Copies of this chain bind each other. A is one copy, B any other.
Amino acid sequence: MIVPGFRAAAAEAGIKYKDRLDLGCIVCERPAVTSAVFTRNLVKAAPVLDAIQLFSGGKRFRAIVVNSGNANACTGMRGLEDCRRIRRDTAHLLGCAKDEVLVCSTGVIGAFLPMDRYVAGIEKAVSRLSENGLSDVAQAILTTDTRPKMANRTISVDSYRMTIVAMAKGAGMISPSMGPPHATMLSFVCCDAVVEHGFWQDVLNEAVDASFNRITVDGDMSTNDTVVAMASGIAKNPLENGTGILAPILREAVTDVLMDLARQIVKDGEGASKCVSVKVKGAKDVLDAELAARAIADSNLVKTAFFGQDPNWGRILAAAGRSGAVFDPDEVDISIGSVQIVNKGMPVGPEAEAEAAGLMKEEEFSVVVDLGAGSHDFQVLTCDLTDEYVHINADYRT
């Protein structure tokens, strides 16, 4: 998967483990129009604080350096100084300005980066840069993920052909938030379109809001979440500022790519064996639909019932009932896939539940809750809560 203008590579830097790819570098041959969104967690890791400062200038960027195994979070001034050193050293190797380099980290909180190994890793990665290197970076950024996550789209407008390749990592500490768009993991988007900066940020905001902001694994929001989208401009299409014919096509393509990655994240959620779409409809307004959908999608009792392949609609209804959404319980319908199991607040019967339980044996299924209170809906993608999730997270640091 190649995007004109971009080269990438990964290296075994030994950040936390030996002999695995844990440091990646994505480089654009020219300053790329770059948009980004960051975690809304009050506790932000050093690289996030550093990147937010850089972005306040609205500048173009040449490179992303990213590592797994260490989040560089809760590391105080030293963490920030380490970020600056990484930017300076990378810029030196690439022959660009240090303010054109973004640093991202993911991994354990509260440990200093092993800077000697880190810097050696950058040198190794830069020496390996190639057009085909993006998939190695997708490998290098993984933590508790079991597989790399990539997605791509090609679009054509007039005689211009454009490519979008994106990657993401994230399996735990994954939760949507209800504020303005922000990321919930690491994701990098490379594109070769010629775009105006404000439009490119709008495209990312919309895409993140429709994708990463509507998934949950465990309801915990990370200190390091970052999504960066770089556009190299190599496609040489007329500058798109949001008013041209490329605009809707590009919006849709970037949203598609991030929704694809979001689904991959949920499917690879820590310990997850099921990917479940929870749709609340018939709400009196969108906020109510969102409150109910998120309460259901984050409920441990609902998620363990998914694991148990048990159409335990009582837990679903109880979660909606405590969500703050306003509705009449006697008007609620609930379906698993195409099988209705609750009609006007009461069970349809054991046969319907047996059929629904059959559908829940699949790796993917949907839950639709109709509140019967209006015409608004909201959908969240979640996974089940398994004993494997507990094992992964009880043993994470040992």
Question: Which residues of A approach B to under 8 Å, CB–CB?
Answer: 40-44, 71, 73-76, 108-111, 172-173, 175, 177, 218-223, 299-301, 304-305, 307-308, 310, 312-315, 317-322, 325-327, 329-330, 342, 344-347, 385-387, 389-391, 393-398
How far is B304's CA from A218's CA once the two chains are assembled, in angstroms?
11
How far is B110's CA from A315's CA once the two chains are assembled, in angstroms?
10
How far is B247's CA from A318's CA once the two chains are assembled, in angstroms?
37
Chain B residues within 8 Å of A320, by CB: 42-43
Known A40-B322, A218-B300: A391·B397 in contact at CB below 8 Å: no
Other-chain residue from B108, B325, B390 in contact with A387 (beta carbon distance below 8 A):
B390
Known A110-B346, A308-B398: A321·B43 in contact at CB below 8 Å: yes
How far is B41's CA from A318's CA once the two chains are assembled, in angstroms?
7
Q: Tell whether, in the assembled complex, residue B43 and residue A304 are in contact, meaning their CB atoms are under 8 Å apart.
A: no
How far is B334's CA from A258's CA once the two chains are assembled, in angstroms?
37
Chain B residues within 8 Å of A42, by CB: 320-322, 325-327, 329
Q: Tell whether, in the assembled complex, residue A173 and residue B308 are in contact, meaning their CB atoms are under 8 Å apart.
A: no
Q: Which 3 A-B pairs have the closest CB atoms?
A: A109-B314, A43-B321, A308-B394
Q: Tell whether, in the assembled complex, residue A329 and residue B43 are in contact, meaning their CB atoms are under 8 Å apart.
A: yes
Q: Tell whether, in the assembled complex, residue A317 and residue B74 are in contact, meaning their CB atoms are under 8 Å apart.
A: yes
Chain B residues within 8 Å of A346, by CB: 74-76, 110
Q: Tell whether, in the assembled complex, residue A301 and residue B395 are in contact, meaning their CB atoms are under 8 Å apart.
A: no
Residue ID in chain B nearest A322 by CB atoms: B221
Chain B residues within 8 Å of A389, by CB: 300, 304, 390
